[in-house]
Amino acid sequence: MNTVLVTGGAGYIGSHVVQQLVARGEHVVVIDNLSTGFREAVRGAELVIGNVGDPGLVSHVMAVHRVESVLHFAAHTVVPESVCDPLKYYGNNTCNTRNLLACCADAGIERFIFSSTAAVYGVTDNGVADEDTPTRPINPYGTSKLMSETMLRDHSATGAMQHVILRYFNVAGCDPEGRIGHSTPNATLLIKVCCEHAVGIRESLSIFGTDYDTPDGTGIRDYIHVDDLAAAHLCALDYLRAGGHSLTLNCGYGHGYSVREVINAVARVGGKPLNVIELPRRPGDIPMLIACSNRLKHVMAWQPRYDDLDFIVATALRWEQQLLYRRTPLPSVA
């Protein structure tokens, strides 16, 4: 049986994609170094522990498993960290992607789906981005992903492969059935941070920037449930298998929520107020970014199922409660 290779498949987004691939009968192998991923998040697929920047390992996996398509998630993703340590991001996100593409070329891989980001757009004129919006990243994370996009397009232009680039907006929530979720410690994604505070893991919650030119002064983002995003990857794989040509697609719902609106939603779903601290803006953050994702819906026939902020928050909060329960030691028996 031919195999789908998922790099970073033990991480937050990758593991949700693996779960959906396995559920529909795909044979999947995962390469992950477990730096931010978790062995137990890989459900129904073989896990190879290693780095996608290791050509020997990657080539061996491709040959042994007869890999026919690659979904590439492995990357560093924290914007403030990329500002402080840009070379870490260019090394892992850009250089390792180049090495992975070289292995694909050697193995004759014809289909490649790339996990990119809305950070490639930077600050747009009206806070909205479609796929033709100029790319002007303002942080090394966005730049590292844009450089990888360029390499992928140039490689595909030789006729070696077809690809789909998926530019994620703000991913949130967890598996609605509670089987897997976002477990990364010291996470920076807003909804996870809010939910950690709601269950008592964090003492407070910070808003970075209250003076943006937005209705309530806080940043606005387009939040997409991770299961809807995972489904977009399966649509992209089917599209390429059917002979589709290379293209780039935004992944978002087409509307946004402010930081304060998200905090209010977590307080509402969790049933208690949150301890909020207001701080100055962080380097690399932008005021507003909303997706225009009509192309994804029209070309891929993708339809979101979980476009509801309270539902997104509820799945994230339920996962944090599970994690807290696992960490809590059982009382000793006298």
pLDDT in tens, 288-303: 999 999 999 999 989 9
Give the tens place of pLDDT for each residue, 116-162.
999 999 999 999 999 999 999 999 999 999 999 999 999 999 999 99
Among 69, 260, 266, 47, residue whose Cα is nearest residue 161: 69
Catalytically annotated residue among 89, 141, 223, 239: 141
- Domain presence at residue 181: no
Give the tens place of pLDDT for each residue, 238-253.
999 999 999 999 999 9
For residue 66, how many other CB atoms are within 10 A of its CB?
A: 12
Cα separation, 124 vs 127, in Å, equals 5
Position 285 confidence tier, pLDDT thresholds 50, 70, 90: confident
Is 249 within 8 Å of 293 (Cβ atoms)?
yes
Same domain, 94 and 228: yes
Same domain, 230 and 286: no
Q: Identify the bridge partners of residue 28 per DSSP, sorted by sequence position.
A: 4
Report how far Cα 57 is from the mean position of its chain's Cα atoms: 24
pLDDT at 266 over 90: yes
Determine which helix (DSSP H) or strand (DSSP E) holds 220, and give its type and residue range.
Answer: strand 220-221
Among 326, 215, 302, residue whose Cα is nearest residue 261: 215
- Domain presence at residue 184: no
Q: If you average pLDDT over residues 172-196, what whole number do you get?
A: 94
Is 169 within 8 Å of 222 (Cβ atoms)?
yes
Position 27 confidence tier, pLDDT thresholds 50, 70, 90: very high
Same domain, 19 and 122: yes
Same domain, 215 and 227: no
Same domain, 247 and 285: no
Among 46, 17, 39, 32, residue whose Cα is nearest residue 74: 32
Give the tens place of pLDDT for each residue, 53-92.
999 999 999 999 999 999 999 999 988 899 999 999 999 9
CA 144 vs CA 1, 76, 101, 321: distances in Å: 34, 10, 15, 34
pLDDT for position 79: 85
- Domain presence at residue 113: yes
Same domain, 242 and 259: no
pLDDT for position 78: 87
Among 252, 247, 231, residue whose Cα is nearest residue 302: 231
pLDDT for position 328: 62
Position 329 confidence tier, pLDDT thresholds 50, 70, 90: low
Which CATH number does the domain housing residue 21 bear?
Answer: 3.40.50.720
Same domain, 162 and 75: yes
Same domain, 209 and 238: no
End-to-end alpha-carbon separation of the chain, Å?
55
pLDDT for position 334: 45
- Domain presence at residue 333: no
Structural domain that includes position 32: 3-173+223-251
Domain count for the chain, please give it.
Answer: 2
Q: If you average pLDDT over residues 178-183, what whole number do you get?
A: 95
- Domain presence at residue 8: yes
Q: Identify the bridge partners of residue 113 per DSSP, sorted by sequence position.
A: 71, 164
pLDDT for position 188: 85
Same domain, 11 and 52: yes
Same domain, 136 and 29: yes
pLDDT at 330 over 70: no
Position 326 confidence tier, pLDDT thresholds 50, 70, 90: confident
Cα separation, 92 vs 138, in Å, equals 19
Which CATH number does the domain housing residue 305 bear?
Answer: 3.90.25.10
Q: Active site includes 168?
A: no
Same domain, 209 and 237: no
Q: What's the sign of the alpha-carbon dihedral 171, 176, 181, 186? A: positive
Q: If you average pLDDT over residues 199-222, what whole number do you get?
A: 95
- Percent of the chain whose pLDDT exceeds 90: 90
Same domain, 149 and 291: no
Specify the length of the chain in residues: 334
- Domain presence at residue 182: no
